[in-house]
Amino acid sequence: MQYAHNRTHVMSTTPDHFDQLLRKYLDGNCTPEEVEQLYAWLQTSEAHKPLLQAMQQDFEAALKTPAHLPAATSDRMETRLLQEISQPAVVPMHAWRRYLRRVAAAAVVVAVAGSAAFYFTRLQKQKNASLAAHTGAGKGDILPGTNKALLTLANGQVVTLDSTGNQVIQQANTTVHQHNGQLQYAVNGTDEPVAFNTLTVPRGGQFTIVLPDGSKVWLNAASRLHYPTAFKGGVREVELEGQGYFEVAKDIAHPFTVKVNKTMEVQVLGTGFDIMAYPDEKTISTTLVEGAVKVVNTHAARSLKPGQQALLDPATGEFKVRPCDVDQAIAWKTGFFEFDNADISQIMRQLSRWYDIDVVNHSTAPGHLFGGRISRNLPLSEILKMLEASGARFNVDNHRLDVLSVQ
């Protein structure tokens, strides 16, 4: 089923313009004229109906107000979206997917089954407690991951890090500051021998670290970063297992190298890139967001341009370089799962790491593919409801998730 399009109000303004208007509305910065224009655009298509219904009362009130929208109006709209847009809506698969993906406040999941596309829209909230309250996460529901990690110092001491911790850790001339979900290194001298630390993020966690040279690394769940407390000599070198996004401080005289799973290296001068190297994935992917990197192993070396992704097959040692959707590759860093023609096994691997659950897949429908975007801040039950509306069936017992079928 697809909704028919109402073409009585055709607008020549580009979709980007309405993206900007919606962002301004969410921030409470729209003028009454802009609110009126946005409201008129929402009426041009039945595909916009869920947003229109959720916003209509606020729009009507705003049209009577000769001032900028107050922040409370935006907050009411966010709450209403979260509470009211909870049922699946069937809409045509066309520009809506591109539009919603660009709006940071929206979370979308799409299940591709034959010719139909099912879109489920939710507004992302930043705090897990707030999300649980709005979405009705029940007692015993499995909540999403949080900022947590274990820091192993050079002397073997293990320090527990979490979302709320604030502490100072002193190692000889190196001071380590933990503030909430971030670790930051400050080197106070140059004569101290270099020591090595290891930051381990468990399943159900994520953490951010600022290295001694100012480079910043976001670590996803089930990941490990091994690094020196100070960079000395001609190179800066760290070791990664799992997944991390790197923003490397530029220093042409001292190239930055990431050793990955003892299988390959990523060499860089200063750039932003993502590496995914989980042992249960078929390939090791390196995605370049900006700058330039080179991926190297014993068989080959390939240079990447922004927007390209290198896939390494660990079994053969062969690289394949392809254009990629950068937003999809780093969606985890910005608080989303994003899938593009992913089968249920691919999705379950991500859920397993983020929700710290064990998954047993009984499904025999590998051809059923999913695509779209969902907030990582939702409790597990909300994710499963979206997938179940598209034909998947699950059973959850404690921290074990059984995929019963996918139809």
Boundaries of every domain in the chain: 147-326
Query: What would the mean pLDDT of 265-289 be, rounded to a whole number?
Result: 95
| Whether residue 110 has pLDDT greater than 90 | no
Integer Cα distance of 110 and 223 in angstroms: 28
pLDDT of the residue at 247: 96
Residue 242 neighbours by CB distance under 10 Å? 21
Mean pLDDT of 96-111: 34
- Of 25-34, 86-95, 148-157, 173-182, the range with the lowest mean pLDDT is 86-95
Q: Which residue has the higher pLDDT, 154 or 87?
A: 154
Q: What is the DSSP string of 211-263?
A: -TTS-EEEE-SSEEEEEESS--SS-EEEEEEEEEEEEPPP-TTS-EEEEETTT
What is the torsional sign of CA 313, 317, 323, 324? Answer: positive
Q: Which residue has the higher pLDDT, 119 or 400?
A: 400
CATH 3.40.50.12780 correct for 147-326: no
Q: Please give the model's pTM, rounded to 2 decimal places.
A: 0.70
Tell me the one-letter amino acid at 267: Q
Read off φ and ψ for residue 128, nearest 5 degrees.
Answer: -60, -40
Report whether pLDDT(183) > 90. yes
Contact predicate 102/19, CB 8 Å: yes
Structure-token match 């919603």, residue found: 100
| Selection from 406, 401, 334 nearest residue 142 by Cα | 401
| Mean pLDDT, rounded, for 109-121 | 26
> Range with the lowest mean pLDDT among 59-73, 218-232, 287-301?
59-73
Residue 90 has pLDDT above 50, yes or no: no
Query: Would you report the helix, strand and coil content of the chain in percent, each value rounded to 5?
Result: 25, 40, 40
Mean pLDDT of 196-204: 97
In sequence order, what are the beta bridge partners of 227? 197
User: What is the structure's pLDDT at 278?
Assistant: 97
Cβ atoms of 110 and 96 within 8 Å: the answer is no
Q: What is the C-alpha separation between 78 and 359, in angstroms, rounded?
A: 33
pLDDT for 71: 47
Beta-strand ranges (E) seen in 328-391 are: 336-342, 358-361, 369-375
To the nearest 10°, the Cα dihedral for 330, 331, 337, 341?
-70
Whether the predicted pLDDT of 14 surpasses 80: no
Question: Which of 52-61, 151-160, 267-276, 289-298 bottoms out in mean pLDDT, i.e. has the lowest?
Answer: 52-61
* Weakest-pLDDT range from 71-85, 91-105, 315-329: 91-105
| Stretch among 58-62, 119-123, 141-145, 381-385 having the lowest mean pLDDT | 119-123
pLDDT of residue 172: 79
Mean pLDDT of 306-315: 95
Kindly state the average pLDDT of the residues 29-55: 67
Backbone angles phi, psi at 199, to 5 degrees: -105, 115
Residue 373 pLDDT grade (very low, low, confident, very high; cuts 50, 70, 90): confident
Over 60: is that where the pLDDT of 17 sits? yes
Segment 322-337, tens digit of pLDDT: 999 999 999 999 999 9
Mean pLDDT, the chain, as a whole number? 76
Task: Give the pLDDT score at 219.
Answer: 98
pLDDT band, very low/low/confident/very high, at 177 (cuts 50, 70, 90): very high
State the pLDDT at residue 52. Answer: 61
Distance CA 407, CA 402 (A): 15
CA geometry: angle at 180 spanning 179 and 186, to 5°? 25
- At 232 the three-state DSSP class reads coil
Determine the Cα–Cα distance for residues 402 and 182; give it in Å rounded to an integer: 34
